[in-house]
């Protein structure tokens, strides 16, 4: 890992692929827009919503940022879209994203890169929900829905100076959300203020019988019961999050946030969660394996992009599928399919199994530091005197310029994966986590025990009163 981290800054430049699509006036946040609609009522009445283009909708195509689905129109709406509309929000459009959620810069979309509105020159917006973050930062929407598999809500929120909340895995329905890696995918919320995040979360935080991974009433009840036992005011700072590449700005925001919490009566405790160091490699093993399996359905025969029938006349079925997939999937998606299939093959030497062990150890270590038990475990292993939440920066730095980012990833595609180093641990363990815009270009991340979204929002509220950006 150290070697990977060090390689981050040794790179040549190439902007060939995107430079002609980018101008300062065009942030490219939307893939499709809707016409203004009439008044509504409900708890979200009057709010404009932007929805990442991997939530299926009937009113326009749902592309997931891919050529493969450019013309795909769903026969139904995602549960989350129906819920926000039923509460009075108006969907203004579908937002740009890294293809199938794969990326952390929003430069992997078939519809061009999203430009970060916080900078006068071209900087990345963060991904994969970069369009949603940019739409909110640009005030084109009051809130936006995104998905977070390994950081795709929190990282763009940090880069674009907005709030980005990834609730506990299982809190919000994923019915109608195009899967990337289903043991990690979580619906998240962007907004410019915490009260809006809260209002949208209250609407979405409900059971859905269409999604078997969405908490049923009994788990929700158990969580609120355990929550009542939570009285800790200890904030944990895991030493493994102190990485050499962290910029002074990120460290400064981190220190300042900790001081603000001390002033509010919290105790700060330095802790160790050793398996955090193995999280990035475990995440990319698990996520790519699940992605390879999920993406096998796109072969252009039943649905998805197909080459013309004249071309197929002389081809074998295998060649047709192969041509459809290699034409319509972008290079990052193809790379992950290959990586995921290798991981799942016997040649890999049990990579997948080893990654799931890392994940299990990580969850056990998290359980030992939190003062609230994990609702998924019958044998309660937790620390009564432990932490109510953990805190660290969301990203190691503010958003890099597009030139710098492209330079780094051209040298080694693994450099792009390193941006997720601070966000994937919470994803692997399914923990609730929020990025708050503590400095305008540097988010601070608060993580809580599985199911303890309330504490995360409570600590965020305390910190938001100290934010320099609102």
- List active site positions: 52, 128, 152
Beta carbon nearer to ligand GLN, 188 or 451: 188
**CA–CA distance from 354 to each of 141, 357, 376 (Å)?**
42, 5, 21
Angle, vertex CA 364, rays to CA 435 and CA 231, nearest 5: 60
Helix (H, G, I), strand (E, B) or coil at 290: helix
Closest distance of CB 109 from ligand GLN, Å: 12
Inter-residue contact 267 to 258 (CB < 8 Å): no
Q: Which is nearer to ligand GLN, 352 or 382 (CB)?
A: 352
How far are the Cα atoms of 66, 108, 382 from residue 377, in angstroms, in the given order?
A: 39, 38, 10
Positive or negative: CA dihedral 106, 107, 111, 112: positive
Left (φ > 0), alpha (ψ -120 to 50) or beta: where does 306 sit? beta
- For the CB of residue 175, give the shortest distance to ligand GLN in the complex, in Å: 18
CB of 241 to ligand GLN, least distance (A): 17
- How crowded is residue 2: how many other Cβ atoms within 10 Å of its Cβ? 9
- Least separation, in Å, of the C-beta of 252 and ligand GLN? 25
- Nearest Cα neighbor of 388 from 452, 310, 321 is 452
CA 75 to chain centroid, in Å, comes to 26
Token pair, residue 212, equals 């078997």
Residue 191 vs 333, nearer CB to ligand GLN: 333
For 52, other C-beta atoms within 10 Å of its C-beta total 32
Q: Using alpha carbons, select from 86, 96, 46, 61 the residue that is nearest to residue 204.
A: 86
**DSSP label of 346:** G
User: In sequence order, what DSSP letters do the residues of 445-456 get, joined into one string?
Assistant: EEEESTT-HHHH
- Per CB under 6 A, residues contacting ligand GLN are 101-104, 128, 147-152, 180, 287, 420
Phi-psi region of 392 (alpha: psi -120 to 50; beta: other; left: phi over 0): beta
User: CB of 154: closest distance to ligand GLN in angstroms?
Assistant: 8
Residue (128 or 394) nearer to ligand GLN, CB:
128
- Please state the closest distance from residue 151 (CB atom) to ligand GLN, in A: 5
| Distance in angstroms (rounded) separating the CA atoms of residues 147 and 101 | 8
Q: What is the greatest pairwise CA distance in the chain?
A: 73
Q: How far apart are CA 78 and CA 57, in angstroms?
A: 6
Q: How far is CA 234 from CA 311, 366, 459, in A?
A: 64, 14, 11
Of 147 and 343, nearer to ligand GLN (C-beta) is 147
Phi (first) and psi of residue 311, to 5 degrees:
-65, -35
Query: Other C-beta atoms within 10 Å of 175: how many?
Result: 20
Nearest residue relative to ligand GLN (C-beta): 152
Our CB check for ligand GLN shows the closer of 424 and 460 to be: 424
Beta-sheet strand order (sheet of 30-33): 30-33, 90-95, 48-52, 143-148, 186-191, 163-166, 433-439, 442-448, 389-393, 234-238, 267-271
């Amino acid at each position: 890992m150290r070697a990977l981290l060090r390689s981050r800054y040794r790179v040549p430049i190439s902007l060939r692929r995107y430079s002609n699509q980018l101008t300062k006036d065009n942030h490219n946040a939307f893939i499709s827009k809707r016409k203004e609609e009439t008044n509504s009522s409900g708890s979200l009445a009057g709010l404009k919503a932007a929805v990442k283009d991997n939530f299926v909708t009937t009113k326009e195509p749902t592309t997931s940022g891919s050529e493969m689905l450019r013309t795909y129109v769903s026969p139904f709406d995602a549960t989350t879209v129906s819920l926000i509309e039923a509460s009075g929000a108006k969907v203004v459009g579908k937002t740009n994203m890294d293809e199938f959620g794969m990326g952390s810069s929003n430069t992997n979309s078939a519809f061009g890169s999203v430009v970060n509105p916080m900078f006068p020159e071209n900087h990345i917006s963060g991904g994969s929900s970069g369009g949603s973050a940019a739409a909110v930062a640009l005030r084109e929407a009051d809130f936006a829905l995104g998905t977070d598999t390994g950081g795709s809500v929190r990282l763009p929120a940090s880069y674009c100076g907005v709030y980005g909340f990834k609730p506990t895995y299982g809190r919000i329905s994923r019915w109608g959300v195009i899967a990337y890696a289903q043991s990690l995918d979580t619906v998240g919320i962007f907004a410019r203020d915490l009260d809006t995040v809260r209002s949208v979360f209250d609407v979405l935080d409900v059971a859905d019988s269409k999604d078997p991974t969405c908490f049923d009433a009994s788990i929700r009840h158990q969580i609120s019961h355990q929550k009542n036992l939570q009285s800790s005011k200890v904030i944990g700072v895991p030493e493994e999050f102190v990485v050499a590449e962290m910029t002074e700005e990120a460290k400064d925001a981190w220190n300042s946030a900790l001081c603000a919490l001390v002033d509010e009566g919290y105790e700060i405790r330095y802790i160790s969660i050793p398996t955090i160091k193995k999280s990035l490699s475990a995440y990319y093993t698990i996520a790519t394996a699940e992605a390879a399996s999920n993406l096998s359905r796109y072969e252009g025969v039943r649905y998805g992009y197909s080459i013309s029938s004249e071309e197929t006349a002389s081809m074998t079925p295998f060649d047709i599928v192969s041509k459809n997939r290699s034409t319509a999937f972008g290079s990052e998606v193809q790379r992950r399919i290959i990586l995921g299939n290798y991981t799942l093959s016997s040649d890999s030497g049990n990579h997948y199994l080893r990654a799931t062990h890392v994940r299990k150890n990580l969850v056990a270590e998290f359980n030992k530091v939190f003062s609230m038990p994990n609702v998924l475990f019958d044998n309660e292993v937790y620390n009564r005197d432990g932490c109510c939440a953990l805190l660290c920066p969301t990203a190691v730095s503010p958003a890099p310029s597009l030139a710098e980012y492209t330079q780094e990833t051209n040298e080694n595609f693994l450099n792009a994966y390193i941006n997720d180093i601070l966000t994937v641990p919470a994803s692997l363990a399914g923990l609730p986590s929020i990025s708050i815009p503590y400095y305008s270009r540097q988010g601070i991340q608060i993580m809580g025990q599985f199911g303890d979204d309330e504490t995360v929002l409570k600590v965020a509220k305390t910190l938001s009163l100290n934010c320099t950006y609102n």
